[in-house]
Amino acid sequence: MSELLSFRSLYARDERHAILAGLSLHVNRGETVAIVGESGCGKTMSIGALLSILPDDVRITSGSIIFDGEDVLKYSGKERMARLYSRIGFVPQNTSDSLYPLMTVSKVMTDAYVRSHPDAGRKHAAEKAAILLSSLGIEDAERVLSLYPSQLSGGMKQRINIASALMGDIDLLVADEPTSALDIHIRRQIESLYASLSGREGLAMLVVSHDLGFVRSIADRVYVMYAGRIIEEGLSDEIFSDPAHPYTKALMTLGTMGARDREHDLPEFGRPSSDIDRESPACAFLPRCSCRKDQCAGPVGYACISDTHFVRCVL
């Protein structure tokens, strides 16, 4: 499988703190990759860096993001999205407010498409939107297209967002916490929708989530993120069946216990400390780790467990 997207040693910070501290990961073509970790570990910021939607005070200080062989960071925000729109689709975390309220669903879905495909025309785009909605299990697509976002349920808004992201015949679908803030019934529907998308020919997915059950059901590979960098990566089975990092183990315990609420805590470790130096070469998890050793305070490198399984821990 060839590489579609890769983050290479990406550093980002706001005025006071480091946010991403040497983030490196990659997504191959057609592959579904998940990033898991607690709130505040930098999952959403890494997506923001790719899509140029970082908060105003956050800037990237070094590193690169390579998409299809080209460093996208060399383009300004506007130019980057004009280039990437037809290649990368994005489903945001808060889908209820991400559809423009003063336009019909049809207009919301087609407006960007007709601008990037000037030959297509709005009628063709609307037909494409209707077909997409039908393929996502929406039966009366024509009626839904004529509604305004305020008339849609939460689950329907989620599907419209996914459909909007797929309008551009994309290579990569990026989804930020796709199952959060949904009730259990709709969550099941959205999970099976993503499961069907992950089998789609040529479509890679990068999913950021703390919902481990969902991640396990769709991801080929999983990255565990802590304090702005990856601390463990591996195939989904390796991470879930044989976690190596103490932090990953604690996460998995929570996952099997069924704790799926957003602001969860790791009971053994307490809250993550906000004043840790994310850019330090030492292990950032050290203050919370119950298996700490003397070497943890020195530079910590990646240990190779298998060809596909790596962990940043002295073990």
Partner 1 sequence: MGKYIAKRLLSSLAVMAIVSLVAFAALELIPGNAALVAAGTEGGSSSVASLAAEFGLDRGFGERLMLYYRNILSFDFGTSSYFGESVATLIGQRLGVTFSLAFFSILIAFLFSVVLGTAAALCRNKLIDAFSRTVVQLFSSIPSFWLSLLFLIVFSSMLHVVDVGDYVPPAVSISGYLSSIVLPVIVLAISETGPLLRLVRASMMRVRNEDWYRMGKVRGIPGIRLATAYALRYALPGPLTLAGSELAKLLGGTAIVESIFALPGIGRLFLTAVEMRDIPLVGGIVIFVSFLVVLMNLLTDIALFLSNPSMRKAGGMKL
Residues making contact with partner 1 (CB under 8 A): 51-53, 56, 77-78, 81-82, 84-86, 90, 92, 94, 97-102, 104, 111-112, 115-116, 148, 150-151, 164
Shortest Å distance, C-beta 92 to partner 1: 6
Identity of the residue, 156 or 276, whose beta carbon is nearer to partner 1 in the bound complex: 156
Identity of the residue, 95 or 179, whose beta carbon is nearer to partner 1 in the bound complex: 95
User: What string of H, E and C letters represents the secondary structure of the chain?
Assistant: CCEEEEEEEEEEECCCCEEEEEEEEEEECCCEEEEECCCCCCHHHHHHHHHCCCCCCCEEEEEEEEECCEEHHHCCHHHHHHHHCCCEEEECCCHHHCCCCCCCHHHHHHHHHHHHCCCCCHHHHHHHHHHHHHHCCCCCHHHHHCCCHHHCCHHHHHHHHHHHHHCCCCCEEEEECCCCCCCHHHHHHHHHHHHHHHCCCCCEEEEECCCHHHHHHHCCEEEEEECCEEEEEEEHHHHHHCCCCHHHHHHHHHHHHCCCCCCCCECCCECCCCCCCCCCCCCCCHHHCCCCCHHHHCCCCCEECCCCCEECCCC
**Across-strand partners of 270?**
266
Shortest Å distance, C-beta 95 to partner 1: 8
Shortest Å distance, C-beta 76 to partner 1: 11
Identity of the residue, 150 or 192, whose beta carbon is nearer to partner 1 in the bound complex: 150
Shortest Å distance, C-beta 225 to partner 1: 21
Identity of the residue, 168 or 287, whose beta carbon is nearer to partner 1 in the bound complex: 168
Identity of the residue, 99 or 204, whose beta carbon is nearer to partner 1 in the bound complex: 99
Q: 122-135 and 154-166 helices cross at what angle (nearest 10)?
A: 120
Shortest Å distance, C-beta 30 to partner 1: 22
Shortest Å distance, C-beta 146 to partner 1: 8
Identity of the residue, 100 or 273, whose beta carbon is nearer to partner 1 in the bound complex: 100
Identity of the residue, 170 or 224, whose beta carbon is nearer to partner 1 in the bound complex: 170
Shortest Å distance, C-beta 100 to partner 1: 4
